[in-house]
Structure 1
Amino acid sequence: MKPVSARPTLTSSADEADADDASPYATINDLHRSDIANVTRRLLILFALVAGLVVACGLTYSLAWQSGIDHLRRNAAVRVDRTTSALKSTLERYESLPYLLAEHPIVQDALVDPTPANVQRANLYLDDLNRHARATVTYIIPLDGFCVAASNWRGPGSFIGAGYLFRPYFVDAVKGGVGRFFGIGTISQAPGYYISQPVRREGKIVGVAVVKLDLEWFQGVDASEPLVVTDDHGVIFLSSVPAWKYHTIRPLSGPVADSIYQARQYAQQPIAPLPVSIERTLEGNAQIVRIGGGRYAPRYLASRRGMGEPDWHLITMSPVDPVDADARKATIVTAFGYVSLVLLAFYWRMRRARVREVMRSRALLQKAYAELNRRVAERTADLSQANEQLQKEVAERTRAEQELRAAHDELIQASKLAALGQMAAGITHELNQPLAALRGFSDNTRVLLERGDQASARENLEAIAALTERMGKITNQLKLFVGRARPRNARAPIVRALRNVVALLQKRLQGVEVDITLLVADSGTRTLLNLADDHPELVAHCDDLRLEQVLINLLGNALDATADLHPPRISIEIEVADANLSFVVSDNGPGIADDVLPRLFEPFFTTKEMGQGLGLGLAISSSIARDCGGSLVARNAPDGGALFVLTLRRARVQTSHTTDPLTTGS
């Protein structure tokens, strides 16, 4: 029995030895499989968490954006309905006014028998009616198309005598219908809405009665968000954004553009399409549009309503950026909440894992630390790379912005140089005064020849020859605007130059009170200057023709400023200092406006009416002063009127006197 019982004992010992030898390898394999399983599980959890974050953020953004758009759409619908009703009620309030005007006997008498008495009665009646109805202008037109009576008959921009055969509202009324038309006035150049009715006498149409309304106030009724009104062709004629006016929301066909041009509906305004792109169409006749080019162009929720009669459309533009911002904020809050919950769950799990980590071996702990360091290094490298990339992008953006600014400056300069093609017309501006003087000398010479005064006639002919030569030199001075001429050591006696200028402007100076004084700065003495005396000691560093050109411009501007005054006064004061000579030209005109003063010496800037000047006179004068080492400034005089100061370097003349006769009183 003992051998039998001993065999199991030996076998058991051998199995235990084999198990002890295999246990280290089994433990390593198990640990390896466990690590792989843990990593896989963590990756799956991380993927699930990231996917959950993306889904939560996307769902939040979609719901918040849709909710904001719905709220914005409802508010926009209420606003466009309210604004449409306000505009339509305004138009309907004046709809019957032309009909009542057409039925009045005074209007019918003026159209049937346009005698001065009937026309005067019609003017008074239209003036009174227009004032009580608070319309812009009311007027009547016979069948020949030329206005005979108007409410603005007293004003300088009266419609009387103007032709309207090409206007659609006149054509519609002559055909027996009601004319409705929006356009820019051919006389006043002011936009307005025209309503016309045919005027009948004994069942026969004898003319047209028209009422013009000013609707410019409407585009400022609700300026919180952009508002536009388009006509039946899609042209924007009312807009709270001035840059959008006279643009189209869709391209115009050739016949439509020709009809707008022939009717002079928008005068000379260029009609260009507004850069509108539709991104999305919503219910309730609303669209999400982007106005402008590029990905950063502003987006709007456009709500459209039709006016019915007239066939206008009112469109309100509600910015979508606040909705996008609110959706982004909601998404950020959701992301932070989600991340906070994940971090809290992760913290709770880490607390549990930390208890288990205590029982792990030191090798696994070191391995975990190494893995963590590796990941931190990778993340740090990624962040460093991203930071470098961001810095490169910032540098590229800065360089691009500088290049864009430089290109913009070059474009402005190129535009100015392109405008130089128009400078040929500036010759007229510069030669008006010499031509007027030539006319005066010619008329005087003819009288002298008739009287037989040959000597005086010869002097006039010599003056005409000198003026002709001076006109040729003046045309060469226009090159001063293209580039700076090199200053020359020319000298000009200022009294002789002033005497030539006064002779040149003699006809325009008739009836103008001109005071010419001489002020010595050192002694403070002021005396009247006799232009017959030469004063050879008063010489400036400047070409004599250039000096006369500047003085002609200054005196010409002073004459223009005092043209409507009674009596006109111009003061010319020559201030003499040791190193400088100054011309102070002042007038009793209205002065210079504050917004005009900074731009006074800019080329092509003028405050005169169209066709009366190119804005080159002061620009050329300032260039001449700088080339001669002097300056030309403008300001308003303390007692009213404009004041120009031309300062030039004084040239010393070698004479027998050792001192300046002006300063010594000789």
Structure 2
Amino acid sequence: MIRPMKLRTLFPLAAFGLALVVACSVVWTVTRERGVEALRKGAAARLERNVGTLKSTLDRYEYLPYLLALHPDVQNVLASPDAESVDRANRYLEDVNAHARATVTYIVRADGRCIAASNWRTPSSFIGEDYRFRPYFVDARNGGIGRFFGIGTISREPGYYISQPVYRDHALVGVAVVKLNLEWFQHADESEPMLVADDHGVIFLSSNPAWKYRTLAPIPAATLDAIRDVRQYAREALLPLPINIAARLAGDAQIVHIGERPLAPAYLATHRHLDAPAWQFVSVAPMANVERDAANAATITAFGLISACLLLVYLRMRRIRTVEMARSRALLQQAYAQLNARVEARTADLSAANAQLTREVAERTRAEHELRATQNELIQASKLAALGQMAAGITHELNQPLTALRSFSDNTRVLLERGRLDAATENLSAIASLTERMGRITNQLKLFVGKARPMMTDASLQAVLRNALAVLEVRLGGVRFEATSDLAPASAEIERPAASPLDCVPPELRVHGESLRLEQVVINVVGNALDALAGRADPRIALDVRADAASVRLTIEDNGPGIDDDALTHLFEPFFTTKEMGAGLGLGLAISSSILRECGGALDAGNVSTGGARFAITLRRSDFDKRMNS
């Protein structure tokens, strides 16, 4: 009798224990997989952002050695290195290096000896040093672009080297080199560890100092000797970083353990490769939070199942006790049988209601957890959408200055070939101004991801029109441009845009707004008009300026095909465009409208009755604001 009772008791306990273990294992596994996937997506997004930041920085300096190679002072010092030409070259390199914010800029002769450098005033000057063993010098001497990261042989400071060959009369006479300090990048994103390795797997940038100048895998002895021959990493031992791969995931991600200990910390490693330079980016996200969340979920599940089991046992014991009491009362007093039956029925109803209430509480708790998880996913999706819109906006806004940079560069090359150094210097100044403008544009594009506080500044309308039309000068070459105004009796009909607004707009007319943003608006509107005039035999653009005491209205008309009625309703929406695929992103008018709203102005669009499109820009006069405040 005792043994069957023990078996009947042990079997349910064993079944419950097995079910508890299975349930906790499933919950732990599912929670951990979801956490790993969310961590992988977040790490991939941050990695793409960091890679884009570093790539844009490297691309910005990619053409600086090429421009240095074309300068007369550089070519003269390589052709005849007398004291006067060396001094001019040193001062020119010092000025360029300061404005470009590079680390060092220097010129190397074809035999590998440095002849001029921007740090010529310092005790650690590169002048006189031999660099023929450096790979970036060898690549440039062979006619290519040199890209190399290493520790400096003189300064002992790590940096990224970009080099270009210098030709004179179609013969290679030297190499122009720019060195950049990239130490800032390893501290750019402190949210999770980040490292960058070269094509040999040597880690040269890392937010964890202990990982720097370690290798992702053992390096062959021949490769190690080649690295030491070019003194790429000075006397660093280049020992392998202890990495053990625990699992491989989708999207080139891995779960790894980094460290010598048996229970080394776990990380989610996400990889990203670059082609030029051939670098490998690795985002190393700690797995501690994921493991803790999975353990917490399993613990909560265990407590929930145990609580539910105890509740069921309690209800069963209570029911048994109620039945026994009813039977006892039936034996003692038959008269109370009906009353005992009612009590028993009522007790059963209360038990059912209690069980129903428990289920409803559990269901509402689960629904609340799912709602919070959904909200977190929506917040993350919103952040990613904002980053994508920012990237698209930067691509669109930099298109016009890049076109102008190409035109000025081609023109400068022609002027240098003709010996017109003064005109070439003016073009180089314009290129520097456009480069600064591109940097300021990227800071202004935050209007799409957050509401920035407007700057209380004003600008000369004549200067705004002059700068905007100067950017579009090449495209306006074959267009008939007319400018009229009610502010001056003269009107201008010109062939070059640089003088068109000056005859009809007084220099003292100032409007409310920052000059660069207003130039962006004019460039976008006039640029769209030029796109609409492509292929026409008699292209024409008319600019009309009207002013009253409080505002200024600029009307820009063209004789193109005009705007469809359906397109007018969506014209200022982001990413809406009527151009062919790849010809536009649909962000220009949306950004222009946002800029004008912040300045207190407006942008309207319509069609001309005789054909073509009309855009009206309304701006507040700054002198009106001053009169009202006084």
Q: Taking structure 1 as the reference length, what is the TM-score of the superposition?
A: 0.48
SS at match of 2:130: coil
Q: In structure 2, what residue type is equivalent to 1:285? A: D
Q: Counterpart of 1:59?
A: 26
Equivalent position amino acid for 2:178 in 1:
V
Within a 5 Å distance, the mapping from 1:330-409 to structure 2 comes to: 330-354=297-321
1:352 is displaced (CA, Å) by: 4.1
How far apart, in 2, do the equivalents of 1:336 and 1:288 lie?
A: 30
Deviation at 1:358, TM superposition (A): 9.2
Q: Deviations over 1:472-498 (max 9, x none)?
A: xxxxxxxxxxxxxxxxxxxxxxxxxxx
C-alpha distance in 1 between matches for 2:160 and 2:261: 36
Q: Which one of 201, 204, 208 corresponds to residue 168 of structure 2?
A: 201
Give the match's secondary structure for 1:272.
coil
Cα distance, 1:344 vs structure 2: 0.9
Equivalent-residue separation in structure 2 for 1:357 and 1:174 (angstroms)? 102
| 1:162 aligned counterpart, secondary structure | coil
Is 1:286 paired with 2:253? yes
Measured against aligned partners, the alpha-carbon deviations of 1:6-42 in whole angstroms (never above 9, x if no partner) come to xxxxxxxxxxxxxxxxxxxxxxxxxx2xx43332222
| Correspondence 1:204-353 to 2 at 5 A | 204-353=171-320
Q: Distance in 2 between matches of 1:192 and 1:36?
A: 80
1:215-271 deviation per Cα after TM superposition (whole angstroms, max 9, x unaligned): 001111001211000000000000001111000010000111011100100111111
Aligned residue in 1 for 2:136: 169
Once the two structures are TM-superposed, the CA of residue 294 in structure 1 deviates from its matched residue by 2.5
What are the Cα deviations for residues 84-130 of structure 1, in whole angstroms up to 9, with x where unaligned?
Answer: 00010000000000011111111011111111111111001100111
2:52 is aligned to 85
Gaps of 5+ in 1: 1-31, 361-666
The 5-angstrom pairing of residues 260-659 of structure 1 reads 260-354=227-321
User: 1:94 corresponds to which residue?
Assistant: 61
Name the CA distance, whole Å, in 2 between partners of 1:51 and 1:293: 36
Larger Rg belongs to:
1
Deviation at 1:67, TM superposition (A): 0.7
User: Structure 2: how far apart are the matches of 1:258 and 1:112?
Assistant: 36
Task: Return the alpha-carbon distance in structure 2 between the equivalents of residues 267 and 197 of structure 1.
Answer: 24
- Distance (whole Å) between structure 2 residues aligned to residue 69 and residue 284 of structure 1: 12
Q: Which amino acid aligns with 1:179?
A: G
Aligned-pair CA distance for 1:357? 8.5
Which residue is 1:106 aligned to?
A: 73
Partner SS for 1:189: coil
Counterpart of 2:106, as a letter, is Y
Amino acid at match of 1:136: T
Give the match for residue 150 of structure 1: 117
For residues 22-61 of structure 1, what are the structure 2 equivalents within 5 Å? 32=1, 35-61=2-28
Work out the CA distance in 2 between the residues paired with 1:78 and 1:214: 25
1:148 counterpart SS class: strand
Picking from 101, 108, 111, the partner of 1:134 is 101
Deviation at 1:354, TM superposition (A): 5.0
1:611-650 per-position Cα deviation (integer Å, ceiling 9, x unaligned): xxxxxxxxxxxxxxxxxxxxxxxxxxxxxxxxxxxxxxxx
What is the alpha-carbon root mean square deviation over aligned residues? 1.6
Partner of 2:127: 160
1:359 CA drift (Å):
12
What SS does the corresponding residue of 1:68 show, helix, strand or coil? helix
CA distance in 1 between counterparts of 2:91 and 2:326 reads: 110
**Aligned-partner SS, 1:109:** helix
Question: What SS does structure 2 have at the residue aligned with 1:186?
Answer: coil
1:66 partner letter: E
Deviations 1:272-296 (Å, cap 9, x if unpaired)? 0000111000001110010002233
SS at match of 1:129: helix
CA distance in 1, matches of 2:322, 2:13: 22
Q: Output the CA distance in 2 between the equivalents of 1:296 and 1:325.
A: 15
* 3-state SS of 2:184 partner: helix
SS in structure 2 at match of 1:144: coil
State the alpha-carbon separation in 1 of the partners of residues 123 and 321 from structure 2.
Answer: 95
Alignment length (residue pairs): 327
Secondary structure at 1:197 match in 2 = strand
Residue identity opposite 1:305 in structure 2: R
Residue 69 (str. 1) matches residue 36 (str. 2): yes
Alpha-carbon distance in structure 1 between the residues aligned to 2:194 and 2:103: 23
CA distance in 2, matches of 1:38, 1:352: 20
- The aligned amino acid for 1:316 is S
Shift, 1:355, TM fit: 6.5
The residue type paired with residue 258 of structure 2 is I
The residue aligned with 2:436 is none
The structural deviation recorded for 1:353 is 4.7
How many Å apart are 1:145 and its aligned residue? 1.0
Secondary structure of the residue that 1:315 maps to in structure 2?
strand
What is the CA deviation profile of residues 302-332 of structure 1, one whole-angstrom value per residue up to 9, with x for unaligned ones?
A: 1111122000011111000100000000111
SS state of the match for residue 131, structure 2?
coil
Between the aligned partners of 2:214 and 2:313, the Cα distance in structure 1 is 59
Q: Could you tell me how far apart the structure 1 residues matched to 2:112 and 2:3 are? A: 96
2:114 is paired with a residue whose SS is coil
Paired residue secondary structure (1:290): strand
Shift of the alpha carbon at 1:184? 0.3
Q: Which residue number in structure 2 is paired with residue 180 of structure 1?
A: 147
How far apart, CA to CA, are the structure 1 residues paired with 2:222 and 2:260? 28
Partners of 1:37 and 1:297 lie apart in 2 by: 50
Partner of 1:247, secondary structure, is coil
Identity %: 55
How many angstroms apart in 2 are the aligned matches of 1:207 and 1:186? 20
Residues in 2 aligned to 1:307 and 1:98: alpha-carbon distance in whole angstroms? 21
Structure 2 unmatched ranges of 5 or more: 328-630
Superposed CA offset, 1:354-411 (max 9, x none):
5689999xxxxxxxxxxxxxxxxxxxxxxxxxxxxxxxxxxxxxxxxxxxxxxxxxxx
Distance 1:357 1:266 in 2: 87
State how far apart, in whole Å, the 1-side matches of 2:324 and 2:58 are.
Answer: 84
- Provide the secondary structure at the position in 2 that maps to 1:297: coil
2:272 and 2:27 map into 1 onto residues whose CA distance is 32
SS of 1:273 mapped into structure 2: coil
